[in-house]
Amino acid sequence: MTQAQHDVYLCGLVPEDNEPVFVAQHLSPYAFMRPQVAGGRVLEVGFGSGYGAAYLAEAAAAVVGVDIAPGNPARAQARYGRPSVTFQAFDGAHLPFPDEAFDAAGSFQVIEHVPEPQLAAWLAEIRRVLRPGGRFFVSTLNLEHNQKPGRPYEKFPYHEKEFTAPELAALLQRAFPSVAMYGVHPTWRHRGWRRLKKWGFNADRFYRQATTADFVVSRRAVRRAMDLLAVCESPAW
């Protein structure tokens, strides 16, 4: 990470400090992953405040979270600590685990913070700790969705590299033999409320009560998705 990121003692989305619809959007890739890792040993790289790791632990046998921000483990442990979840301060490019230690790994809204020169090593380290046939779930914003025609665009200040769907797929395919691309989309009900809001109707009630059920993860129209989600599979030797 950059020096600016090293200087951040606490980082990551705190559910209570954000609108429910925004939290639900970020949690949707976890909801997609959770039933697929039931009973497994899971690694989360970049757990932030820890809410996602705790969510995965409702299905997984054990979840280990690592994060570069030095204040994150104590905060996450105080809020989400339980016997099946542990939080540790480590750089994702130098994981303190043996080869093939996990059945699955996840990293959500984190890859855009990794400096480009370090991406290959970062992905190789995650692949190293996955068992043969283990899967890596990785989400990030969709650059094509964020860029609006005719409007200037600047990436977020702490983002090192933002991705289009083809760019993310190409990067991941250099580290994993199998990569499936998905997109996070609003449901038709959600789309309706968004349109009503644009027309001036009060949609506050919907936005206050939104959950992951108001988003769908699909392989259709990935390039138009709000966020990207890739599922990578390590070689099954």
pLDDT, tens digit (0-9, with 9 covering 90-100), for 18-55: 999 999 999 999 999 999 999 999 999 999 999 999 99
Token pair 């409320």 is at which residue?
193
Helix (H, G, I), strand (E, B) or coil at 222: helix
Residue 1 has a pLDDT of 47
pLDDT per residue as tens digits for the range 122-154: 999 999 999 999 999 999 999 999 887 777 878
User: What whole-number distance in Å separates Cα of residue 131 and Cα of residue 100?
Assistant: 4
Instruction: Indicate if the alpha-carbon torsion angle 59, 53, 237, 181 is positive or negative.
Output: positive
**Angle between helices 119-128 and 165-173 in degrees, nearest 10:** 60
User: What whole-number distance in Å separates Cα of residue 167 and Cα of residue 181?
Assistant: 11
Delimit the domains of the chain by residue range.
3-233
The first and second tokens of residue 116, run together, are 């480009």
**Which candidate, 218, 237, 221, places its Cα nearest to that of 229?**
218
Within 8 A by CB and 6+ apart from 58, the residues are: 34
**Which candidate, 153, 129, 125, 127, places its Cα nearest to that of 141?**
153
Which superfamily is assigned to 3-233 in CATH?
A: Vaccinia Virus protein VP39 (3.40.50.150)
Please check the confidence at residue 215 and state whether its pLDDT lies above 90: yes
User: What whole-number distance in Å separates Cα of residue 177 and Cα of residue 132?
Assistant: 12
Cβ atoms of residues 92 and 107 within 8 Å: yes
pLDDT band for 6, please (50, 70, 90 cuts): very low
Helix (H, G, I), strand (E, B) or coil at 229: strand
Is pLDDT larger for residue 15 or for residue 152? Answer: 15
Cβ atoms of residues 67 and 73 within 8 Å: yes
Please check the confidence at residue 8 and state whether its pLDDT lies above 80: no
Cβ atoms of residues 116 and 161 within 8 Å: yes
Average pLDDT score over the chain: 92
Largest CA distance in the chain: 57
Per-residue b or e along 124-133, where b marks 16 or more CB atoms closer than 10 Å to that residue's CB:
ebbbebbbee
Please check the confidence at residue 92 and state whether its pLDDT lies above 90: no
